[in-house]
């Protein structure tokens, strides 16, 4: 039996890479049902001041096709708390690069009042959509 019944994770999942896959795999290892929020283009632009390379429709198709993901939906509200509570999750699963941040320290307190754990999963170093975007921009077109 897995430690959690329902786990929630959220991200842009642009230029899908091995780091994304590992987060889903590790999350599914500890929860029975994995819920994934995929940030909308508008939310991504508001938070990162750049648009995703891959359209929301295609990012949703990719995430929904991953065998570890049980439910995926578009996210327009950046508040993880809302999505965790709405989906009746007992764990929020995030990369350990967020551990100790002011945002997630506050979120841990809010969620723990409802019996929800924040679980930090090992972040895959040296890979991100930003790194891939930079490599793409640096490449020489033939």
Query: 48 an active-site residue?
Result: yes
Rg from Cα positions in the chain: 15
C-alpha dist (Å) from residue 9 to 36, 63, 76, 81, 93: 5, 12, 14, 11, 5
- Asked if residue 59 lies in contact with residue 39, where contact means CB atoms within 8 angstroms, the answer is no
- Asked if residue 59 lies in contact with residue 12, where contact means CB atoms within 8 angstroms, the answer is yes
Of the candidates 3, 50, 51, 136, the residue annotated as catalytic is 50
Give dist(CA 97, CA 124) in Å, integer: 9
Query: 50 an active-site residue?
Result: yes
Active site residues: 48, 50
């Amino acid at each position: 039996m897995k430690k959690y019944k329902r786990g929630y994770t959220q991200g842009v999942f642009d230029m899908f890479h091995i780091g994304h896959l590992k987060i889903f795999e590790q999350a599914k290892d500890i929860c029975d049902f994995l819920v994934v929020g995929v940030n909308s283009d508008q939310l991504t632009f508001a938070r990162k001041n750049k648009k995703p390379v891959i359209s929301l429709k295609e990012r949703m198709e990719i995430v929904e096709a991953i065998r570890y993901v049980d439910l995926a939906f578009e996210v327009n509200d950046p508040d993880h708390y809302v999505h965790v509570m709405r989906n009746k999750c007992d764990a929020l699963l995030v990369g350990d690069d967020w551990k100790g941040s002011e945002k997630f320290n506050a979120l841990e307190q809010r969620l723990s009042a409802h019996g929800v754990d924040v679980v930090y999963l090992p972040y895959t170093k040296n890979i991100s959509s930003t790194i891939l975007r930079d490599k793409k921009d640096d490449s020489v077109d033939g």
